[in-house]
Structure 1
Amino acid sequence: MKRARLPMLAVLPITVISFVVAVPFVIGDHPLQWASGSLVPHLVLDGKEHTQPDGSKIGGNGTSATPSRTAEVARVDKEWKKGMPQWGVQLYWEDNPKHSVEYVEQQARVQANYLVGLHANSVSLSFPFFTGDITSTKITAGDKTPTPDHLARVLRIFHEAGLRTTLRPLMDEGTLDIDNFEWRGTIKPADRGAWFASYEKFLTPYLKAADQEKAATFVIATELNSLEGDAHWDSLVSDAEKLFGGEIAYDANWDNYVAGPITMPVTHLGIDAYFPVKVGDDASVNTLVKGWNDWLDKKATGPLPKITVAEAGIAAMNGAYHAPGDFYTKRAVNPKVQATWYTAVCQVVQERRMSGVYWWSIYFDDNPNKAPDDKKQSRLDFAGRPQSEKAIKACFTSDYAGPGTATTS
């Protein structure tokens, strides 16, 4: 059955568009090149020591383990049920064709166990796909795009842990001219019909894999500002619903969310929410909560039970409140900035009766049990930062029961 379009919502006049255009790192909310130097546990599988493609041992923490391919994973205390908040994490995965199936499955167990330790009940698996220049009509999988089989195996392991799962393709921006403000939200396919046909062809095996592994949500697209509302989405989503029995969602970028109506033929809307709050590094939780509410109120006041914060993140560094989506700058590390932001965002989610939040992010190949190497990894990484982990656990173990029966969108 065809989904009704999301309702159009009136918004108050805003004056932030010049800010969005002037600051490239907050319009494209993901780096062009992901952090290198990933760390994962040293593995011994089936009596064989596993190594990275360069011949070095997997990991770097001096520990070893002897799991088998059938090793159990920890399980959540309370599985997600409809109406409960989605307490989740965005897990970003750039695959490596040289990684064995054993490596992929074991790394999935490492991540699942970490998420259960955070008291998460949900996980969103984001992965890259590729295009040409800004006018390209062709969508492709690259070497870093996980195969449908690998994704299915990882989803299966997350289900073993009792986690609610989302599959989320994300356009890589490596071939776009970011210096001239090009990003996934400004693409201008020369032939939209050809673009949508190519995109649907790419999505089809992933929709089948998500359905096979009973994923709860498939995000049909993320942050494609310039294509929102295009009539081609109707047939693409209709075809997707024939392949996938769960929820079809769309994740909007924060600037477009507050600037006007998001008209997409989906059942659920997420926000990649990097709302800037221009306050000092010592700002209180209440000050940050007010800053977020000022942004959200530009769209609608009161409860937002149909909205999920699909991405919330911020760098653990000085000055980050001014540009939470800055994936590039590296100023002095300040873990308190990140932890305070997490606490404030969680409070907003609860007070506005939103359907949940997913923290950005963990990289699939990283060891989440080790402190991040700030010389190599993104300041937005939170795994291994004790203050941030404490804030996340407090959020995920709060007494918030979920959005309930409120109807405001």
Structure 2
Amino acid sequence: MTVLTVVLGTPFLFGDHPVRWEAGSKLPTLVLDNAPESSTPADTTTDPKASPSPTADPLKVAEPWKKGMPQWGVQLYWEEEKTKRSDAFIEKQAEKHAKYLIGLGANSVSISFPFSIEGRTSNVLSKGAKTPSPERVERVLKVFKDAGFRTTLRPIMDEGNLKQANGWRGNIEPDSRSAWFASYKKLVTPYLKAADEAKTNTFVIGTELNSLEGDVGWEPLVSSAEKSFTGEVSYDANWDNYVRGRINMPVSHLGVDAYFPVKVADTASVGTLVKGWNDWLDRKATGALPNILIAESGIGAMKGAYHAPGDFYARRTVNEKVQANWYTAVCQVVQERQMQGVYWWSIHFDDDPNTAPDDKTASRLDFAGRPLTEKAIKTCFSSDYAGPGTDDSTS
């Protein structure tokens, strides 16, 4: 009887029950024909929080990333609060986010943080009031590294002082480019060292700087960065420049911040959205894209968002299905085109990811706490996609 009790009872105790903005360029206009509705929207009947990724330790990634695996990640955007939080607070906050991301099935995280510029033609870059210090960044990176995540550090220019018409980071024109690069080197070097101390995998040397791509100043900057940082140095291009031609940057790894507009109705099928994305990508290259990472992608959970996914400021009527279906479509494209992975934009560092967003104040691009979108992410991250392999060349 004792043996029989153990045999029958063990599966119930230990069985298969798991333990629990920025692409600111003007958007080109493209009218796409609807594709056949070959894909259906994500099932809405299941509570996404009921089936988290199985892991024995809520602060350990179940299957840590290894070279050749897809990067299933999230962009965690960190602005320092006006009242500076304690070091103990930020570590606890990082642990909260790590636990949430593990529940989504993520194996990667990218920490984006802002730096300041005085104006569109300024040569001076600096840490602003919202910029976390290198020491605090290192602390947070170590929390995620200890939890088993693949980690990326990504400085991104704050557009707060670029209020004039068409002012965004992608069209700055410094009066002296040599002075701009000297200032940028001084700014990022301490963060490169902090990232290296935390054994960070990737440092993104620039993000969406369209007007400066191909400048001779990048070569010495990247060379200097590689002396301070032993991981990979990459660059994240904006989607519009990416589809126009080769991104001329002296790095071996390229990400794309992808907000391709698709002119379809809110009721469009996942298959139609996949076709819309492929039509854009095919402008650059057809077939597999094993050297390309979707470094940032997202969309507002609102009506009309497919026409301008990168609209970070609109607060139209909430439609979570729009966001969830977009995530499902992007994930399908990443897999079918054999890309390196995707990072969803975004979660704000000071937010509680377990709390639904306040739709009166929060960005519609926020996805944490939106059940349909969380389910789409979990489905994506739990797929059997093996990844693009280990080719290190760029496109």
Structure 1 length normalisation: TM-score?
0.82
| Aligned position for 1:359 | 344
Structure 1 residue 142: deviation in Å? 1.0
Partner residue, 1:230: 215
Q: Residue 315 of structure 1 aligns with which residue?
A: 300
Match of 1:121 among 107, 111, 114: 107
Question: One-letter code of the match for 1:360?
Answer: W
- Aligned residue for 2:152, secondary structure, equals strand
Q: Provide the residue aligned with 2:77 in structure 1.
A: 92
- Structure-to-structure mapping, 1:167-246, within 5 angstroms: 167-178=153-164, 180-246=165-231
Which of 309, 321, 345 pairs up with 1:336?
321
User: Residues of 2 paired with 1:122 and 1:20: CA distance?
Assistant: 27
1:282 to 267, 291, 294: 267
Which residue does the alignment assign to 1:376? 361
* One of 120, 128, 143 as aligned partner of 1:142: 128
- Cα offset, 1:404, TM superposition: 2.2
Kept in 2, the 8 Å contact 1:289–1:344? The answer is yes
The unaligned stretches of length 5 or more in structure 1 are 1-18, 24-71
Contact residue 27 and residue 308 of structure 2 kept, 8 A: no
1:315-353, Cα deviation, whole Å (9 max, x unpaired): 000000000000111111000000000000000000000
Deviation digits for residues 156-183 of structure 1, max 9, x if unmatched? 10012100000000000111124x1011
Query: d(CA) in 2 for partners of 1:165 and 1:159?
Result: 7
SS at match of 1:308: strand
Amino acid at match of 1:105: E
Quote the offset at 1:20 in angstroms. Answer: 5.3
**Alignment of 1:153 onto 2:118:** no
Supply the RMSD in Å over aligned alpha carbons.
1.5
Distance 1:98 1:395 in 2: 36
| Aligned counterparts of 2:231 and 2:394: Cα–Cα separation in 1 | 23
Q: Aligned pair in 2 of structure 1 residues 405, 236: CA closer, same or farther (>3 Å)? A: closer
Identity among equivalent positions (%) equals: 67
More divergent stretch after superposition (252-261 vs 116-125): 252-261
The equivalent of 2:9 in structure 1 is none
SS in structure 1 of the partner of residue 286 of structure 2: coil
Counterpart CA distance in 2 for 1:402 and 1:381 is 27
Residue deviations 1:242-272 (CA, integer Å, cap 9, x gap): 0000000000000010112101001100000
1:118-171 residue CA offsets vs partner (Å, 9 max, x unmatched): 010000000000001111000000121010111000001001210000000000
Q: Is the 8 A contact 1:73 1:161 kept in 2?
A: no
The secondary structure found in structure 1 opposite 2:126 is: coil
Secondary structure in 2 matching 1:221 = strand
Shift of the alpha carbon at 1:21?
A: 3.6
| SS in structure 2 of the partner of residue 95 of structure 1 | coil
Q: Aligned residues, how many?
A: 342
How far apart, CA to CA, are the structure 1 residues paired with 2:140 and 2:172?
A: 31
CA distance in 2, matches of 1:408, 1:280: 35
- Work out whether 1:166 is the aligned partner of 2:152: yes
> What secondary structure sits across from 1:265 in the alignment?
coil
* Equivalent-residue separation in structure 2 for 1:22 and 1:300 (angstroms): 20
Query: Is the deviation greater in 192-201 or in 73-82?
Result: 73-82
Distance 1:159 1:405 in 2: 21
Q: Distance in 2 between matches of 1:269 and 1:156?
A: 24
Matched residues in 1 for 2:223 and 2:88: separation? Answer: 36
Is it true that 1:261 corresponds to 2:246 in the alignment?
A: yes
Whether the 8 Å contact between 2:78 and 2:348 is mirrored in structure 1 is: yes
State whether residues 27 and 261 of structure 2, in contact with CA within 8 Å, keep that contact through their aligned partners in structure 1.
no
Q: Distance in 1 between matches of 2:190 and 2:154?
A: 13
CA contact (8 A) 2:75 2:112 kept: yes
Aligned to 2:87: 101
Matches of 2:388 and 2:200, distance apart in 1: 21
1:128/1:172 contact within 8 Å kept: yes
- 2:18 aligns to what? none
Q: Is the 8 A contact 1:137 1:189 kept in 2?
A: yes
Secondary structure at 1:130's aligned position in 2? strand
Q: Deviation at 1:102?
A: 1.1
What residue ranges of structure 2 are gaps of 5+ in the alignment? 1-23, 29-56
The alpha-carbon deviation at position 400 of structure 1 amounts to: 0.2
Q: Distance in 2 between matches of 1:270 and 1:22?
A: 19
Note closer, same or farther for the CA distance 1:73–1:156 as it changes in structure 2 (3 Å cut). farther
Deviation at 1:95, TM superposition (A): 1.2
Q: Could you tell me how far 1:405 is from its partner in structure 2?
A: 5.7
Looking at structure 2, the residues matched to 292 and 304 of structure 1 have their Cα atoms a distance apart, in angstroms, of 13
Query: Residue 182 of structure 1 aligns to which amino acid in structure 2?
Result: G
Pick the structure with greater CA Rg.
2
Distance of 1:218 and 1:280 partners within structure 2: 38
1:133 and 2:119 matched: yes
Q: Distance in 2 between matches of 1:402 and 1:187?
A: 36
Asked if the contact 1:303/1:408 (under 8 Å) is kept, the reply is no
1:294 aligned onto 2:294: no
Instruction: Provide the rounded CA distance (Å) in 1 between the counterparts of 2:166 and 2:331.
Output: 31
The runs of at least 4 aligned residues of structure 1 exceeding 6 Å deviation read none
